Structure 1
Amino acid sequence: MESPATTKDTASRTQRPEGRPGYGQLLRTDGAWSFLLPGFLARQPYAMLTISIVLLVEHTTGSFGLAGAVSATAGIAMALLAPQSGKLADRFGQGAVLVPQVFLHALTIAALITVASTDAPLWSLFVAAVPAGATAPQISPMVRARWAARLQGSPLMTTAAAFESVTDEFTFVVGPVLATALCTGVHPAAGLIAEAAVSLVGGLIFAAQRRTQPASARAGDAPESARSDQARPQSALAVPGARVLVVAVLGIGMVFGGMQVSLTAFTESIGRPGINGLMYGAFAAGNMLAAVAVGAIRWKRGPQTRLLAGYPALVVAAALVAGTAQLDPWVLVLGALGTLTGLCIAPCMITSFTLIETLVPAGARTEAFTWLTGAIALGQATGSTVAGQLADRSGAGAGFLAPFAGTALALVVVLIFRKALHTPHSGLVAARGVGHRTTVTVD
């Protein structure tokens, strides 16, 4: 139970103690803009890294399969090391981890560009990709942690989570378009150079905002409840439903990775590589628009039902893209189907994050969110690798089979283990307005 002092402090931070939480009220939170703007800048490279690697390596080697495999190596390293980076930030503070990390990331990107641009052995590309991915700053979780520190149990926490989801989706609209434009219009390495520069500048500005930084465990000023939770670590993956959701978002990650490589191969096969960014941007824009709509709808069904209804729609959309790509389609037709696929992704992804919050104990939720974001990155790496191999061996259109296969297999797992997705609580969390949730009873 919150003390009167805590309640008063929370109310002062959010400007209004009562009423329906909304984006306007959220953005009036004391200190929010000091970390939101640099956080938005610093997270752009997350969506630029893998596509920039694909475009550079394909240009220097002529192989989409190799380019996808190198990109996947960086993605896997990022997925595996992200939880460790978060643990260090919790222990020593975000700034103490982020400052050396962005400098190290810039150096590893420079090394990768050097290896890719010379006659170095092909295996050295994979060696260089590991530290490039492993040192990628994890800005989005840090921003979410700052929201939690500012709001401390306020009902605006749900609104903040919705806001961050939409912001992440927008990142996947801007990042790939910018990276592709730089790689195709300026220089094949320009995308990675920009990625490193934005990581460095944005990361340093974000780290400098120390007033909004959450207290570190090393500082010894964490709340007693937080220290108690840390003393009793729990594993998020011990919850069966969490494992099912990891598989579900792994399939979603394969759509991201597979579409990146497949659209790159397709646009080059028709002699129009410059429109790759626009086509992927249309796919990502559909994803972002659907994310906004999901938060705006007042759902009458629980998240389990929505996931079981939405995931088959995603599989059907991926199948339409894969089937159409084999028929030498018009650019506009394939672009429209890509947008449709993007529209189907957001409901599944946001519902997965909503579900895991209800399934996993409070003491393991940070770990649970890290597993989901890591699974997306791993799926993206797998999708780009499979799509690249298919494009090299069977033509540009074959790469689109990777997103379909990934989502189809994930759907099978979700359907078989669907009972594990039911929350142990009597009520379910449903959206109410933009970024709101309320408890509803589902028969």
Structure 2
Amino acid sequence: MSHTVDTETAGQPATTRPGYGQLLRTPGAWTFLVPGFAARQPFAMLTIGIVLLVQHTTGSYGTAGVVAAVTGVAMALCAPQSGKLADRFGQATVLVPGVLLHAASVTVLIALALAHAPLWALFVAAVPTGASVPQVGPMVRSRWATVLTGSPGASALLPTAAAFESVTDEFTFVIGPVLATALCTGVHPAAGLAAEAALTLVGGLIFAARRATQPLTVSTPAGGHEGARSASALSIPGVRVLAVSFLGIGAVFGGMQVSLTAFAQEIGSPGVNGPLYGVFAAGNMLSGLVFGAVTWKTGPRRRLVLGYTGLTLVSATLWAVHSVALFAVLGLLAGLCIAPALISGYTLIEALVESSARTEAFTWLTGAVALGQAAAVTVAGRLADTHGARAGFLVPLIGTALALAVLLPLQSRLLPRGPGRGAIRAMGHRETTAVD
């Protein structure tokens, strides 16, 4: 049965967007939201935890950035495969061994860092640490699509769910870096990573146990159309464009984390790093709350371009700032621009990709953020070591400018092709979405 979700109909929305209260009353939602929140902490705490620990044991932001980058690259390469396996065999099947491996890998990385092991040994431990980061955010987004399917007003609730997930992601970035910084500076340099591993393990196992809301697998597609199941979400041009744009968002995350850490050290107040990054993430969260509550007259493609343009302009000012108060203001503005770009990108996935590959598609975007973050922490760390924190803040500008230069001429690829939703179809289900 086909239906149309029109996000831009001559500027007049057909219905008022449902609120977060209606969304959260969806049966079964809280059973995966609470443990999923805890299990998302690696993305918020892992990079900053590694940077603070390795910088403490080596005295080099560059070295710390490289080790963190290895985890980011490993995550970026493995996350889509994890998503594809989850689509095929079920989320719990992938998640349980993943969180066990992650907790063990983080423990080994901590031990090696505290033992002042050589850099190559840290790299060896960093690879499985990053590769095993659980893709809980994409899994939760897929669960929303599952629990909302067939419910009244489901098509109107999906954009609200996308906004809510962005807010949840950013809330972890409000508390995650602050918590990791406080633990590393106030308890022990390894305490941030230890807490990250514990939260991931406990939250991940509880989340995996909630099998009633996990999406159906596509290991045995109806009619035996193996080719439809095996096609990758990355074969869709729009997904590739979104992945490139999310690289720039990752550059902002990584560049801000390392450069703010170096800036706080330079002014003799290392503890201010967490609150400053928290302000940046709070802007993202607040913007997401508003963004998800408003019924927009423009489609997600235009909102993505506008949000990304604003993010690039704000990033262009960071390198020239030396005041904590001004950093807080500009960080808040940067956060306000990130949420529209993130939410719009994830909303576009709903239009471009069929449900049989949606988790994989979401993980390509989160993997792109991780890869952009990995490159950013490496470059920003080296620049901070040699030229100071000010040079590190050039990284968000370069990353967003390059991604915007790709997004602008290729934005037409974000429109679905043909009468169906995208290149990948399963079980004969089709939806058409206006995304301009």
- Bin of the TM-score, shorter chain as denominator length: 0.7 to 0.9
String of CA shifts for 1:18-41, please: whole Å, max 9, x gaps: 996432222222222222111112
Conserved? CA contact 1:355–1:421, under 8 Å? yes
1:383 aligns with 2:384: no
User: What displacement does 1:440 show?
Assistant: 6.6
1:207 aligns with 2:208: yes
* Corresponding residue for residue 261 of structure 2: 264
* Corresponding residue for residue 194 of structure 1: 195
Q: 1:35 to 1:236 in 2, by over 3 A?
A: closer
Conserved? CA contact 2:139–2:359, under 8 Å? no
Hey, what's the Cα distance between the residues in 1 that align with 2:31 and 2:435? 39
Q: Larger deviation: 351-360 or 307-316?
A: 351-360
After superposing on structure 2, the runs of 4+ consecutive aligned residues of structure 1 that deviate more than 6 Å are 438-442
1:72 aligns with 2:73: no
Conserved? CA contact 1:166–1:292, under 8 Å? yes
Hey, what's the Cα distance between the residues in 2 that align with 1:174 and 1:441? 33
* Corresponding residue for residue 413 of structure 1: 406
Hey, what's the Cα distance between the residues in 1 that align with 2:30 and 2:190? 32
String of CA shifts for 1:144-163, please: whole Å, max 9, x gaps: 23223322244133332222
Q: TM-score, normalised by structure 2?
A: 0.87
* Corresponding residue for residue 294 of structure 1: 291
**Unpaired runs of at least 5, structure 1:** 3-17, 429-437
**Unpaired runs of at least 5, structure 2:** 3-14, 422-431
Question: What secondary structure is seen at the aligned counterpart in 2 of 1:88?
Answer: helix
Hey, what's the Cα distance between the residues in 1 that align with 2:355 and 2:209? 30
1:308 aligns with 2:305: yes
String of CA shifts for 1:216-271, please: whole Å, max 9, x gaps: 456x6x7x48x758745433333333322211110011000000000000001111
Q: Larger deviation: 271-280 or 33-42?
A: 33-42
Question: What secondary structure is seen at the aligned counterpart in 1 of 2:297?
Answer: coil
Question: What secondary structure is seen at the aligned counterpart in 2 of 1:417?
Answer: helix
Q: 1:136 to 1:365 in 2, by over 3 A?
A: closer
Hey, what's the Cα distance between the residues in 1 that align with 2:87 and 2:407? 33
Question: Letter of the aligned partner of 2:244 in structure 1?
Answer: V
Hey, what's the Cα distance between the residues in 2 that align with 1:145 and 1:49? 24
Hey, what's the Cα distance between the residues in 1 that align with 2:331 and 2:435? 36
Taking the TM superposition and a 5 Å limit, the aligned residue runs for 1:80-229 are 80-154=77-151, 155=154, 156-217=157-218, 224=222, 228=225
User: What displacement does 1:317 show?
Assistant: 0.3
* Corresponding residue for residue 41 of structure 1: 38
Conserved? CA contact 1:57–1:67, under 8 Å? yes
Question: What secondary structure is seen at the aligned counterpart in 2 of 1:103?
Answer: helix
Question: What secondary structure is seen at the aligned counterpart in 1 of 2:296?
Answer: coil
* Corresponding residue for residue 242 of structure 2: 245
* Corresponding residue for residue 343 of structure 1: 336
Question: Letter of the aligned partner of 2:301 in structure 1?
Answer: Q
Question: Letter of the aligned partner of 1:343 in structure 2?
Answer: L
* Corresponding residue for residue 358 of structure 1: 351
CA RMSD for the aligned pairs? 2.6
Q: TM-score, normalised by structure 1?
A: 0.85
String of CA shifts for 1:68-122, please: whole Å, max 9, x gaps: 1100100111111112222333344333332222222111111101111113212
Conserved? CA contact 2:57–2:116, under 8 Å? no
Question: Letter of the aligned partner of 1:200 in structure 2?
Answer: L
**Larger relative CO (CA 8 A, sep 6+): 1 or 2?**
2
Equivalenced residues, count: 410
Q: Larger deviation: 159-168 or 69-78?
A: 159-168
Q: 1:122 to 1:285 in 2, by over 3 A?
A: same
String of CA shifts for 1:307-334, please: whole Å, max 9, x gaps: 333322111100111222xxxx221111
Conserved? CA contact 1:303–1:355, under 8 Å? yes
User: What displacement does 1:360 show?
Assistant: 4.2
Q: 1:119 to 1:210 in 2, by over 3 A?
A: same
